[in-house]
Amino acid sequence: SERPYVIDEMISAKSIAARVEDLSRKIKDEFPKGERIVLVGLLRGSFIFIADLVRELGDRDVEVDFLEASSYGNSTESSREVRILKDLRGEIEGRNVLVVEDIVDTGYTLSHVIHLLSARKPKKLKTIALLDKPTRREVDFKADWIGFEIPDEFVVGYGIDYAQCNRNLPFIGKVRFI
Ligand code: PRP
Ligand code: MN
Ligand code: MG
């Protein structure tokens, strides 16, 4: 039972593309040339962001892996309970790892994942999130790089869903219930 809503554009596809380009430059500065970077996308929300990021890193040695952690289910509220639904395929011990996320809200998902992955002793472990809602934070967590800081609005698009819909929008929009 979904309430009817409309989506208002908040961040255009063009602004996202420009920001992804900026961020890829910062990533290149952080990880030494000639060393492989393992990009770990958190399913499902990060799939578009990681796809754009890896192409901006086209001149680097990049490996792509995925991990699925879910906290929201089909609701607009976090359950505060992070479940690992799918683990990495590859080993990360001694490797350069960049965890790629779409949004940091309460912080439970990323802090849990970082805790889990750091126990595997990567050489370097960094995090990037396209969006950050700092006013919603419930656990102390800060990503190394953020695309955009946003207010506490319910957002969709560019990988982010509402009840599994709207991930395919090329921009970030806010849901307005009508
Ligand atoms: C959403 C979002 C982040 C997480 C952020 O994922 O994609 O992964 O919640 O919330 P938090 O900071 O409060 O933990 P969701 O659990 O909805 O799964 P999905 O990526 O498959 O949509
Ligand atoms: Mn997610
Ligand atoms: Mg979701």
Residue 146: per-residue pLDDT: 98
Rounded percentage of the chain residues whose pLDDT exceeds 90: 90
Q: What is the pLDDT of residues 127-169, one digit of tens each?
A: 999 999 999 999 999 999 999 999 999 999 999 999 999 999 9
| Atom number of ligand 1 nearest to Cα 109 | 14
Query: Is 144 a pocket residue for ligand 1 (Cβ < 6 Å)?
Result: no
Contact 131, 148 (CB under 8 A): yes
> Ligand 3 mean position to 139 CA, how many Å?
19
Query: Is 15 a pocket residue for ligand 1 (Cβ < 6 Å)?
Result: no
Residue nearest to atom 13 of ligand 1 (CA): 106
Among 43, 70, 72, which is best to mutate for testing ligand 1, by the most ligand atoms less than 8 A from CB?
72
Per-domain boundaries in the chain:
13-151
4, pLDDT greater than 70: yes
pLDDT, mean over the chain: 94
| Contacts of residue 63, Cβ cutoff 8 Å, sequence gap at least 6 | 36, 37, 38, 39, 90
pLDDT band at 81 (very low <50, low <70, confident <90, very high): confident
Among 47, 109, 155, 156, which is best to mutate for testing ligand 1, by the most ligand atoms less than 8 A from CB?
109
Q: What is the pLDDT of residues 61-80, one digit of tens each?
A: 999 999 999 775 555 565 67
Query: Is 70 a pocket residue for ligand 1 (Cβ < 6 Å)?
Result: yes
Domain 13-151 has CATH 3.40.50.2020: yes
Residue 18 one-letter amino acid:
A
| Atom number of ligand 1 nearest to Cα 82 | 14
Residue 79: per-residue pLDDT: 60
Contact 127, 141 (CB under 8 A): no
Contacts by 91-94, CB closer than 8 A, 24 or more apart: 91/120, 92/38, 92/40, 92/117, 92/120, 92/122, 93/120, 93/121, 93/122, 94/121, 94/122, 94/123
Cα separation, 102 vs 107, whole angstroms? 12
pTM tops 0.90: yes
